[in-house]
Structure 1
């Protein structure tokens, strides 16, 4: 099992934290509001702890569960405290009305985050193609992920499996833009063809 630190106190952080505890992982939750972090740790149970925002995270895997607009500033604030860590970026980069991505052509939120982390840290994009409330419901789901470092990806894949989910390697970090585009597509499907957000995206393997 893994040692996980989650930066963020929202719904996705809570959903990943709960499944991580159920999967036998050690979980630290971190937020700017120390009282809320302690409350979330208590709600998760299972030995979850509350860390100090800006201090070196306990976990080898650091789930960055904050909106993309705040992701790079958070990374900058942590600085060398993230050296040697695997940073899992779960953000989506859609604009306010979910008609496009806020990142320039040819890059992604995950790649911008990768530019900001210490050289010894590695960024893996994951979980952005699963709605937080669906993740919280439990049950098997597919989690698409992308990254450039094989060891970091193996660690993330094992963590995903510990949550009772199926990890699907989508390739290098350059694919993160298309994973973020998939997140945008899911929002559009929810608003149009599906008509609600109560669905998941997965890969069917015939036969």
Structure 2
């Protein structure tokens, strides 16, 4: 595993989508090698080409999900809740010994502005139980608008809550978040991820009520480190 603060190879499964694509764009712009993962390798490469055009570089590439996960130091899961478990199961062998950053939000259309957590509580914690101790699952980035991420010249006025049972893994993800212009905080164990997962529906409700595209959160009372 790479040291905190060093450049890493990051696979973003679901990187052809809005949220995953925004994170991939930011990390590629920061200098990391980013592998876009998709069920369709050509769709992944097309998304990578768009990122490279925006950053004027070659840091992004595309591959099928399994190949993307195998190539990376860190894997990011940015797929819809309905595809979360199946995607993880399809790449599980490539995740051993790595950090998996799960961005999953358990939204259940059409009532996406209503909190609907799965029966077991945290959707991300369920993935840690599925994969076992050989993979360090970290919950993060659920509450950051893709609208913010895709504008590289924009200062993002939002914080990220990072939860994991492995504190060192959480701190590494905090560092990755700060690299792309986000405030980020180690918010404790993975079970605490229920707050971030539920908060997304609250933010969607706020967006609708106040007619804005990108409400977010800030943590106050702590001096930024």
TM-score norm. by structure 2 comes to: 0.84
Establish whether residue 7 from structure 1 lines up as the match of residue 13 from structure 2.
yes
Decide whether the 8 Å contact of 2:117 with 2:198 is kept in 1: no
Q: What is the alpha-carbon distance in structure 1 between the residues aligned to residue 18 and residue 214 of structure 2?
A: 15
One of 179, 185, 188 as aligned partner of 2:196? 179
Q: What is the alpha-carbon distance in structure 2 between the residues aligned to residue 100 and residue 200 of structure 1?
A: 16
Alignment root-mean-square deviation, CA: 1.8
Cα 1:206–1:108, aligned 2, differ >3 Å: closer, same or farther? closer
Name the residue aligned to 1:155: 172
Q: What is the alpha-carbon distance in structure 1 between the residues aligned to residue 148 and residue 118 of structure 2?
A: 26
TM-score norm. by structure 1 comes to: 0.91
What is the CA deviation profile of residues 120-143 of structure 1, one whole-angstrom value per residue up to 9, with x for unaligned ones? 111111100112112223313311
1:43-58 equivalence runs, <5 A: 43-45=50-52, 46=57, 47-55=59-67, 56-58=69-71
Where in structure 2 are there 5+ consecutive unaligned residues? 1-6
Q: CA deviation at 1:33?
A: 1.1
Q: CA deviation at 1:51?
A: 2.4
Where in structure 1 are there 5+ consecutive unaligned residues? none
Q: What is the alpha-carbon distance in structure 1 between the residues aligned to residue 214 and residue 196 of structure 2?
A: 19
Decide whether the 8 Å contact of 2:159 with 2:184 is kept in 1: yes
Q: CA deviation at 1:175?
A: 0.5
SS of the residue corresponding to residue 4 of structure 1 reads strand
What is the CA deviation profile of residues 74-117 of structure 1, one whole-angstrom value per residue up to 9, with x for unaligned ones? 1111122111111111121132212231411x521101111222
Decide whether the 8 Å contact of 2:11 with 2:75 is kept in 1: yes
- What is the number of residues matched between the two proteins? 205
Moved over 4 A (4+): none
Name the residue aligned to 2:48: 41
